[in-house]
Every structure is written in structure tokens, then in C-alpha cells.
């Protein structure tokens, strides 16, 4: 595989200091359970999209501290020799469950759970978090932009403004899973099959003695799919005239009709309407209009509302960095330990109720309405609970427990899939294209009220009675005894 690089040393230093400490405190064989969850949906949206699992799987498979890594750590002078020996033979032997890539996800619910020996679970924290946080951020943003475009293709154009190499490469992948049609980033096509697209920059036009020469040369080189960039000098003064001339002289006589023009500046609504009129008057209604220039979901929705004549959008920096909200706040929290086969639930308390964790080893269900197929709510239970799906299902709001709802005709889907069991990969990873299709079908299963951009309906993520009781018992216990 092209992307199976060893990133074992990409970890927060405190994962090493803690692991060495567990080792020396006789806690390295103790089993720990960690949940990944997030607290806030970016951009005030109604849901996020999970992404990044493939990179986590590759990372886990390739875990290996090299001799040089061990020598480097030894040089720090704080790690025990036995611990370094342990690291030299380190591998992940635990279990991981996760929601598939492309799944709509909601605050507070576990989207990935790790069970394993304390050091193993601790040492993989940083990579898991950064991967989920990055790719879920971009998939979520891409899905917003795709929905705003109402069926018009979104080309992801952002590599040059991405936050680093991987921001571009895996960013393009996540954007595709979220619904983008293509990317500018060639390596993401090569690695993940995200279709690469693009035609010319202003430099192409400048390299020729005239704009017209540049356009003719391009149409001759690429008679199919030629999209001419017409704003190097003056869109209406020269750009569109030279483009029309090139199309009519080179392409139309050959019966070729898949060409277009692109603009990357100016007042897009005004310009595209005028361009459409000119192109139609010139007998070129087939000529597509592509636009780019600092677009995002709000600008796209606004352009469509204003009647801009646009066939597809190129979206760059505001997608690839999720500019309006560039952080996805996924966290990795200890929820239980295990001694001699007994699971001991753990809690982290905070003055801020949203920061209090849901303790224990858990399951996540999505409740679908049997008739409409729509997702109604998510339910978190303890792992050993069972739900009698032949009976009605009552759920309640964990903050306002008097708010209750009963489902009569429903289907449950268990959302966390087994990924690793005893260190062995047990999951058949879908392709990026399959994850994209899954994503779009799952977004389709959400009510429009959850999908709207402004003040979306809050989708319920409820706790089972047993989990709620456990949480409140631990809250009471930890506040008084510590």
C-alpha cells in the first residue's frame, strides 16, 4: 500500500510518560476502555460525518518503534529500560469498534471504542484523535457544501492552501466521502480513487503570446472537457470573446460539445448570468460555466438563490481547512478499566455538564422508523444490555428526564462495528467511493429538520435507564469521596 507509512512516533509525549508510569506501577497489563466522542457540531450544523478509519487501520497495522526511535527515547533519560524493551516489541493486541466512515454522527456518542492493555490504549490516542478530528472535520464541511450546491458537482480544489501534505491528501479523501465529485490533488486519485480534475491556471494563458493562442492550444491538446480560464486579463473585454472564438474554430466543427469556461474572480452572480446570455446568443448553450474563488456553503447557497448560472463549483481553502470552523473537537476518554474480568466504569467530572463523560463499556444504536426509514434518535446502552425489539421502546432525554418518547414501529441498527479483535483486523474496509455512497444514503435517512443550516433540530442521543443510573451514581460517589 502506498500510504502505509510508520507513524508510531507521532504521539504526544505524555502518552509515553504515562505508559512508562503504568509499566512501573504494575498497571501495564490492566485493561482500559477508551471512547472517542465529540462535543460540538462544526458550523452550528445538525450532524457531523465520521471519517478517517482507513488511516487508523493502516496505522495500527504498521505500529513499530524502530531501533532509532528506542535509542532516541533512551536518550531522554527518563524511561525504564524494561519499558523501552517493551516498546521495541510493541504491537496492538486489543479490540477496536468504530462507526463506518461516512456515518452521520452526533455529540456525546461513542464513535470509536478501544479496549486493550493500558499502555497500548494510551500510546495510540494521539494518532486516532488527529485522524478522526481531521477527516471528520473535512467530510462534515464537504457534505454541507455539497448539500448547498443542490446537485451541482463540487470539485475540491484546496491542496495549495491545505494545512500540510496530509491536509491535502487525506483532506481530498474526506471531502470525497462527504460528497465532493472530484479533487485537484493527483495523489489522492492514485491512492484512493478520488477522481482528479483540473484544466489550467492563469500561468497557461500568460505563457502564450496572446490569450487566444493559449485557448486554441488548449482546445487542440484537450479537445474533450476543455475548461478555459477567462479572467486572466478582462473577462468581457477579451476572455469570453477569445474562448468563444476558440470553441467555434477548434471544437464545434468536430462536433465536440463538452467544453466550458471558468472564472476565478469578480461578482460571480452578475458575471455568470451575463456569460450565460452571451454564450446562448452565440449558439453555445452547451458551454458549461465553472466558478471558483473563496466559496463555501453560504456563498454557494446565496449564489443559487440569486439565480447565478453555474454548472459546477471549484471549492478551495474554505473546504480543505474548514475555514469557518477549523477544529473538530473529538476527545479520547477513559470510560472503564477491567480487573480479573470485571469491568470497572470510570468517569471524568467537570463543572461543565457537557464535559462529563458517559462511563462504562457501551453500545450505540440508531433507531429507524420502520415506515419512512428515517433515523429517529440514537441510544447508548451498556454493553451487556439487550433490547427487546418486539416491544415498544421508550427513551428519555438525559438532561430533562421527564421528556420521554416511545417508538412502536422501529428498527435498531448497532452502529459500532468490530474493527480489530485481539489485535487482528476483522473489518473489510470499504473503498472511498463506497464510503461516499454510504454517506449520501445515510444523510438521506435524516429528517430535513436535522439537515437545515440555520437552527437545525437537535437530534436526540439518549442513554438507557441503566447507563443513566450508573452515570449518576458515579457522579455522586466521585464528588464526595475524592
Neighbours of 477 (CB within 10 A): 11
Tell me if 211 contacts its own copies by CB under 8 A.
Answer: yes
Our CB check for its own copies shows the closer of 318 and 363 to be: 318
The closest of 294, 453, 462, 289 to 387, measured between CA atoms, is 462
Q: Choose between 354 and 394: whose C-beta lies nearer to its own copies.
A: 354
Instruction: List the Cα angle 47/49/52 in 5-degree steps.
Output: 155
Is residue 348 a contact point for its own copies (CB under 8 A)? yes
DSSP state string for 89-158: T----SEEEEPPTT-EE-TTS-SEEEEEEHHHHHHTHHHHHHHHHHHHHHHHHHHHHHHHTTTS-EEE--
Grid coordinates representing 344 are 470497572
Q: Work out how close the CB of 157 gets to its own copies at its nearest, in angstroms, rounded to a whole number.
A: 8
What gap in Å lies between CA 75 and CA 84, rounded to an integer? 11
Q: Nearer to its own copies by C-beta: 390 or 481?
A: 481
Extract the runs of DSSP E, i.e. beta strands, from 230-318: 260-263, 288-291, 312-315
- Yes or no: say if 33 and 114 are a contact pair by the CB < 8 Å rule: yes
Q: Is 342 in the site for its own copies (CB under 8 A)?
A: no
Shortest distance in whole angstroms from residue 346 CB to its own copies: 5
Q: Which strands form 112-117's sheet, in the order they lie side by side?
A: 342-345, 331-339, 31-37, 112-117, 95-98, 417-421, 424-425
Choose, by CB under 8 A, the member of 11, 88, 278, 440 that binds its own copies.
Answer: 11
Cβ at position 389, least distance to its own copies in Å: 34
Nearest to 48 by CA among 122, 118, 166, 133: 133
Nearer to its own copies, 34 or 92 (CB): 34
Residues shown for the chain = 482
DSSP assigned state of 456:
P
**Residue nearer to its own copies on the CB measure, 170 or 442:** 170
Stretch that binds its own copies, among 11-19, 251-259, 374-382, 437-445 (CB under 8 A): 11-19
Nearer to its own copies, 338 or 369 (CB): 338
Helix (H) or strand (E) holding 466: helix 465-481
Binding pattern to its own copies, positions 46-65, x when CB under 8 A?
A: --------------------
For residue 109, give the C-alpha cell: 456518542
Residue 435 CB, shortest distance to its own copies, in Å, is: 17
The count of residues interacting with its own copies (CB under 8 A) is 109
Task: Tell me which residues in 144-203 interact with its own copies (CB under 8 A).
Answer: 157, 159-171, 184-187, 189-190, 196-203
Out of 82, 91, 277, 355, point to the residue binding its own copies (CB under 8 A): 355
207 binds its own copies (CB under 8 A): yes
Q: Residue 472, interface with its own copies (CB under 8 A)?
A: no
Q: Which of residues 417-436 bind its own copies (CB under 8 A)?
A: none
* Closest among 428, 476, 185, 154 to 297, alpha carbons compared: 154
- Cα→Cα distances 371→127, 155, 392, 395, Å: 41, 36, 15, 19
- Find the distance separating the first CA and the last CA of the chain, reported in whole Å: 49
Task: Return phi, psi of residue 103, to 5°.
Answer: -75, 130
Q: Which is nearer to its own copies, 207 or 426 (CB)?
A: 207
The only residue of 4, 10, 248, 283 in contact with its own copies, by rule CB under 8 A = 10
Interface positions, 263-292, toward its own copies (CB under 8 A): 265-266
Name residues contacting its own copies, limited to 232-261 (CB under 8 A): 232-234, 237-238, 242
For its own copies, which residue of 27, 274, 288, 383 counts as binding (CB under 8 A)?
A: 27
Shortest distance in whole angstroms from residue 364 CB to its own copies: 21
**Residue 400 contacts its own copies per CB under 8 A:** no
Question: Is residue 471 a contact point for its own copies (CB under 8 A)?
Answer: no
Among 67, 305, 424, 482, binds its own copies (CB under 8 A): 482
Which residues, including other chains, have CB under 8 Å from residue 421's CB and lie 6 or more apart? 95
Nearest approach in angstroms of CB 296 to its own copies is 11
Closest separation between CB of residue 144 and its own copies, Å? 16
Of 84-92, 127-135, 382-390, 444-452, which part binds its own copies (CB under 8 A)? 127-135
Amino acid at each position: 500500500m502506498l500510504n502505509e507509512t510508520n507513524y508510531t512516533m507521532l504521539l504526544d509525549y505524555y502518552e509515553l510518560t504515562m505508559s512508562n508510569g503504568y509499566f512501573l506501577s504494575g498497571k501495564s497489563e490492566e485493561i482500559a476502555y477508551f471512547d472517542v466522542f465529540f462535543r460540538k457540531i462544526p458550523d452550528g450544523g445538525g450532524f457531523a460525518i465520521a471519517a478517517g478509519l482507513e488511516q487508523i487501520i493502516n496505522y495500527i497495522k504498521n505500529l513499530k518503534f524502530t531501533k532509532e526511535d528506542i535509542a532516541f527515547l533512551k536518550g531522554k533519560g527518563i524511561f525504564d529500560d524494561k519499558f523501552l524493551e517493551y516498546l521495541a516489541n510493541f504491537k496492538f493486541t486489543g479490540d477496536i469498534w468504530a462507526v463506518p466512515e461516512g456515518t452521520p454522527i452526533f455529540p456525546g456518542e461513542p464513535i470509536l471504542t478501544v479496549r486493550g492493555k493500558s499502555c497500548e490504549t494510551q500510546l495510540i490516542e494521539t494518532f486516532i484523535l488527529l485522524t478522526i478530528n481531521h477527516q471528520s472535520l473535512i467530510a462534515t464541511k464537504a457534505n454541507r457544501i455539497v448539500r448547498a450546491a443542490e446537485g451541482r458537482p463540487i470539485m475540491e480544489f484546496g491542496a495549495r492552501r491545505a494545512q500540510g501534505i496530509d491536509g491535502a491528501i487525506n483532506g481530498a479523501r474526506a471531502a470525497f466521502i462527504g460528497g465532493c465529485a472530484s479533487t485537484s490533488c493527483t495523489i489522492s486519485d492514485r491512492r484512493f480513487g478520488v477522481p482528479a480534475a483540473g484544466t489550467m491556471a492563469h500561468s497557461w494563458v500568460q505563457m502564450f503570446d496572446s490569450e487566444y493562442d493559449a485557448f486554441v492550444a488548449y482546445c487542440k491538446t484537450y479537445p474533450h472537457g476543455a475548461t478555459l480560464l477567462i479572467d486572466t486579463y478582462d473577462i468581457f473585454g477579451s476572455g469570453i470573446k477569445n474562448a468563444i472564438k476558440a470553441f467555434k474554430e477548434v471544437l464545434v466543427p468536430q462536433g465536440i460539445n463538452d467544453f466550458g469556461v471558468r472564472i476565478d474572480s469578480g461578482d460571480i452572480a452578475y458575471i455568470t448570468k451575463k456569460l450565460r446570455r452571451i454564450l446562448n446568443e452565440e449558439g453555445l448553450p452547451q458551454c458549461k460555466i465553472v466558478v471558483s474563488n473563496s466559496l463555501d456553503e453560504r456563498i454557494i447557497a446565496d449564489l443559487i438563490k440569486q439565480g447565478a448560472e453555474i454548472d459546477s463549483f471549484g471549492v478551495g481553502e474554505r473546504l480543505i481547512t474548514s475555514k469557518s470552523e477549523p477544529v473538530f473537537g473529538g476527545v479520547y476518554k477513559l470510560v472503564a478499566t477491567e480487573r480479573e474480568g470485571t469491568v470497572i466504569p470510570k468517569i471524568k467530572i467537570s463543572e461543565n455538564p457537557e464535559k462529563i463523560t458517559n462511563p462504562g463499556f457501551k453500545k450505540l444504536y440508531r433507531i429507524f422508523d420502520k415506515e419512512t426509514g428515517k433515523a429517529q434518535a440514537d441510544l447508548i446502552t451498556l454493553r451487556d444490555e439487550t433490547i427487546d425489539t418486539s416491544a415498544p421502546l421508550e427513551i428519555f432525554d438525559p438532561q430533562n428526564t421527564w421528556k420521554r418518547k416511545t417508538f412502536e414501529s422501529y428498527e435498531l441498527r448497532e452502529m459500532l462495528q468490530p474493527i480489530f479483535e485481539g489485535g487482528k483486523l476483522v473489518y473489510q474496509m470499504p473503498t472511498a467511493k463506497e464510503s461516499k455512497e454510504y454517506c449520501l444514503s445515510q444523510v438521506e435517512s435524516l429528517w430535513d429538520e436535522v439537515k437545515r443550516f440555520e437552527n437545525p433540530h437537535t437530534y436526540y442521543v439518549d442513554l438507557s435507564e441503566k447507563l443513566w443510573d450508573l452515570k449518576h451514581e458515579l457522579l455522586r460517589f466521585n464528588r464526595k469521596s475524592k
